[in-house]
């Protein structure tokens, strides 16, 4: 149990590395994708990341962004693996705590914004919620198709 908690804490701390990455457009490139991991804006947090002093080329930044994306995916898989080992009550408690922390961070970020920015932020959040709902619907459909195939 102790090793599981240590692994979960380690996995939860890894996104801080990604937050330090310079942002010049997301991997999807869409206008609503915007800055990731804490709302870093062009020039706002620029120069404070671990890679800012390396004078990276665009290609190097894209490769690093790809590596970090893969790392985040692998982190999620590790968290899910250990999450499955927890009791259902502990799983729910952990998910609820993560969700609460996420909502608080969003609320804190929104509070820092000007009214015009808040409207844009709300629209971005709405679009993301729509995409999440579409993705959940797709996953449910895919699971249903897999069951029919068996």
Q: What digits encode the pLDDT tens for the residues 29-40? A: 444 344 444 444
Of 2-6, 84-88, 127-131, the poorest mean pLDDT is in 2-6
**Torsion over CA of 99, 117, 64 and 78, rounded to 10 degrees?**
0
Please tell me the pTM assigned to this model: 0.48
**Is the pLDDT reported for residue 18 higher than 80?**
no
Instruction: Name the more confident of 10 and 118.
Output: 118
Of 27-41, 70-84, 88-102, the poorest mean pLDDT is in 27-41
User: Which pLDDT band holds residue 54 (cuts at 50, 70, 90)?
Assistant: confident
Whether residue 71 contacts residue 63, with contact meaning beta carbons closer than 8 Å, is answered with no
Query: How many CB atoms are located within 10 Å of the residue 85 CB?
Result: 11
**Is the pLDDT reported for residue 112 higher than 50?**
yes
């Amino acid at each position: 149990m102790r090793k599981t908690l240590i692994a979960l804490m380690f996995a939860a701390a890894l996104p801080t590395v990604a937050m330090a990455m310079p942002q010049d457009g997301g991997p999807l490139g869409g206008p609503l994708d915007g800055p990731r991991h804490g709302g870093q804006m062009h020039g706002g947090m620029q120069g404070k990341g671990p890679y800012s002093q390396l004078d990276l080329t665009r290609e190097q930044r894209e490769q690093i962004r790809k590596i970090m994306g893969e790392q985040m995916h692998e982190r999620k898989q590790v968290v899910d693996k250990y999450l499955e080992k927890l009791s259902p009550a502990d799983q729910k408690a952990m998910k609820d705590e993560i969700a609460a922390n996420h909502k608080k961070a969003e609320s804190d970020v929104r509070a820092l914004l000007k009214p015009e920015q808040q409207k844009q932020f709300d629209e971005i959040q709405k679009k993301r919620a729509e995409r999440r709902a579409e993705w959940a619907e797709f996953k449910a459909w895919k699971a249903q198709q897999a069951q029919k195939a068996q």
